[in-house]
Structure 1
Amino acid sequence: METTICPWCQTEIVWDEELGPEEECPYCHNELKGYRTLNISLGEEDELEEDEDLEAEEEGLGLWEEDDESHLNAIRRVEAFATDGGDLLAYESGVEKILDRQEEVPECPHCREYMMFAGVQTLGADYAPVVPEGAKGPLLKPAAKLNVYVCTACFHVGSFLSEDDRNALIRTVSED
């Protein structure tokens, strides 16, 4: 019998000689033949880092800039809280307590973390309702209420229609 070690889960696999090797690991079910390796030669690490830094500078990117820069800035802000004497575990625990008691827990559109309910905002005098073409009236009343949420990681603030105003919007659109 032939013995092989799965490159994914590091489990020893004993194959039956009559059946031969299979294409996937019986333990982790990952493909065995398609396993890709990355060869890294030691001693060239400094040169590689310098090349990456030069490429980033040529493209106008700093070391921390990525496609989703706001998420990285959020992580830095939360970590800054910990360095200023704050306790990150206490913060996370407090966030969990608040989120557990919320009826609705939306995800932040920027970093995909959960958002905490922060309060209610009423559309004010600067709101001018519009009557869409083909509708009998405006979609939202001038006194519509918005539920305001704050992201627990990047501190993005977002708002959504209150449940009553959502139902009113649905009734308004379905009547037309």
Structure 2
Amino acid sequence: MAEVENPICPWCQTEIVWDEEIGPERHCPHCENELTGYRTVQVGLDGLDEEVEDSEEIGENWDEEEDEAASGNNQPDLTGLSHYSRDRLALDETMDRLLDDQLEAPECPSCREFMLEAGTQTITETQFQPRTPEALTEPLLTTPFRIVLYFCPSCFHTEQRLGVQEQERLVKLLTKAVADGN
């Protein structure tokens, strides 16, 4: 009777013993990784010499294609690379510099890109009616206060946040309310 060789999980290096009635496992019982399919690479060393010869032939064909392209006979197809133009690279570089200058760089809730700071808006008494919660002796926000406007350069979603001074004032107010409440 021929002895069946048990496979070894490529992820956790554990020998997988399977029941002959059920058949081979699809997932490793130890680490739960998939044993077959696109996530597993099977490497065979039997045909290594043949593969080296094939790769040399591919290299020769590649050189011939380069020579033809250089002579102008055959232009390579670059349509797949059109979205990586100079303009796109310049845009990415500019966005990186702008993000480096910002105090905060919130993530866009729509597409997860970093948002750019567009500017600040000062809210005055005529634009805002403050509310004083019962638990506090003063309003959460008093006029004038600043709001920082951010926009996403990819999907153009906008978002507003309180300015840094207003954030600090709000934290102090809420901390003071806890200290006064005890």
Identity of matched residues, %: 30
Q: 1: CA distance between counterparts of 2:122 and 2:170?
A: 15
Determine the structure 1 residue equivalent to 2:131.
130
What's the offset of the Cα at 1:156? 1.2
Q: 1:175 to 1:5 in 2, by over 3 A?
A: closer
Q: 2: CA distance between counterparts of 1:95 and 1:30?
A: 41
- Which of 21, 24, 46 is equivalent to 2:16? 21
Q: Which residue identity lines up with residue 148 of structure 2 in the other structure?
A: N
- Which of 30, 33, 57 is equivalent to 1:31? 33
Determine the structure 2 residue equivalent to 1:108.
108
What's the offset of the Cα at 1:153? 1.1
What's the offset of the Cα at 1:4? 6.3
> RMSD across aligned C-alpha pairs, in angstroms?
3.6
Determine the structure 1 residue equivalent to 2:146.
145
Between the two structures, name the one with larger relative contact order (CA 8 Å, sep ≥ 6). 1
Q: TM-score, normalised by structure 1?
A: 0.54
Q: Which residue identity lines up with residue 144 of structure 1 in the other structure?
A: F
Q: 2: CA distance between counterparts of 1:172 and 1:20?
A: 61
Q: Which residue identity lines up with residue 21 of structure 1 in the other structure?
A: I
Q: 1:5 to 1:21 in 2, by over 3 A?
A: closer
Q: 2: CA distance between counterparts of 1:133 and 1:86?
A: 58
What's the offset of the Cα at 1:88? 2.1
Q: 2: CA distance between counterparts of 1:129 and 1:97?
A: 37
Q: 2: CA distance between counterparts of 1:98 and 1:175?
A: 36
Structure 1: 5+ residue stretches without partners = 38-81
Alignment of 1:2-151 (within 5 A): 2=5, 20-21=15-16, 24=28, 31-33=33-35, 35=36, 87-124=87-124, 125-151=126-152
Q: 2: CA distance between counterparts of 1:20 and 1:130?
A: 67
Structure 2: 5+ residue stretches without partners = 18-26, 39-82, 178-182
Q: TM-score, normalised by structure 2?
A: 0.52
Determine the structure 1 residue equivalent to 2:173.
172
